[in-house]
Amino acid sequence: MNNPYPIRESNIGSICIVSAASSAVVQVGDRGETNARLRALAVQRQEDHTRAGDVFFESYTIFSRDMPELTDPDYEEGRVIRLDRVNCSPRITVGCIHIIAAGSAASVLAGNGMRLTADSKIKHIRQYPRPRPYPPAGC
């Protein structure tokens, strides 16, 4: 079976990445399929977890939601756009790449990428008591 996507060589002059966070993918070259996923709970509390109790993913509906289904009405009605591409060079050439940060479930790719699925769900919880209002002056 012939691969409909020609394999090309990737040439990078230089690459500098300061930070690639959890589940981030940095790849030079071709990629068939990537499934990046990150689930995170960030809890900040005045009390430590032994006294305040544990926090569980199951307690928050954001972590059990399905991925949204993407629809394309034109495609479903048979109006398909055909794209033919001719790469005149067998190389993907990039000079300099400077990335400050690639976040959670992010993808940095210099090459052919066929299929990418990324899912990042983060819930920040801050549990601090609210300060009590001071009584008005003159009371």
pLDDT for the residue numbered 100: 92
Average pLDDT over residues 65-79: 84
Check whether 51 has a pLDDT greater than 70.
Answer: no
Average pLDDT over residues 15-26: 85
pLDDT for the residue numbered 48: 65
Check whether 69 has a pLDDT greater than 80.
Answer: yes
Per residue in 80-107, pLDDT tens? 877 777 777 778 888 899 999 888 778 8
- Asked if 36 contacts 109 with a C-beta cutoff of 8 angstroms, the reply is no
pLDDT for the residue numbered 56: 74
| Average pLDDT, rounded, for the chain | 79
Average pLDDT over residues 5-13: 77
Q: Which helix (H) or strand (E) holds 43?
A: strand 31-45
- Asked if 54 contacts 136 with a C-beta cutoff of 8 angstroms, the reply is no
Check whether 108 has a pLDDT greater than 70.
Answer: yes
Average pLDDT over residues 3-30: 80
